[in-house]
């Protein structure tokens, strides 16, 4: 398979197939995980929770996309892990 074909499949076809088979989110379960993983100690949601990290209910400026969210979390990871340890 040519590299460009593989890239096309990875970037276009696979995400579309994955999205079609995704289980819907559950806000109550998400809130439980947020508390259980102690995210709420630093982050707030709508003003409820910690104050040392961004309120996650507020949309960041600029273009907000799922890819942008993943990128922001990935790039922020090392700083967050250092603060947690």
Question: Is residue 36 pLDDT above 90, yes or no?
Answer: yes
Where does the pLDDT of residue 32 fall: very low under 50, low under 70, confident under 90, or very high at 90 and above? very high
| Residue 54 and residue 43 in contact, taking contact as beta carbons nearer than 8 Å | yes
| Residue 67 and residue 59 in contact, taking contact as beta carbons nearer than 8 Å | no
Question: Is residue 68 pLDDT above 70, yes or no?
Answer: yes
What ranges do the domains of the chain cover?
A: 26-84
Q: Give the Å distances, CA to CA, from 56 to 7, 21, 22, 46, 70.
A: 33, 26, 23, 8, 13
Average pLDDT over residues 37-46: 91
pTM, whole model, 2 decimals?
0.57
Share of the chain above pLDDT 90, in %: 20
């Amino acid at each position: 398979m040519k590299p460009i074909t593989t890239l096309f499949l990875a970037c276009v076809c696979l995400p579309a197939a994955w999205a079609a088979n995704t289980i819907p989110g559950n806000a109550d379960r998400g809130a439980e995980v947020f508390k259980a993983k102690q995210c709420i100690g630093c982050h707030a949601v709508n003003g409820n929770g910690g104050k040392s990290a961004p309120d996650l209910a507020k949309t960041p400026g600029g273009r907000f996309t799922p890819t942008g969210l993943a990128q922001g979390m990935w790039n922020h990871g090392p700083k967050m892990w250092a603060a947690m340890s």
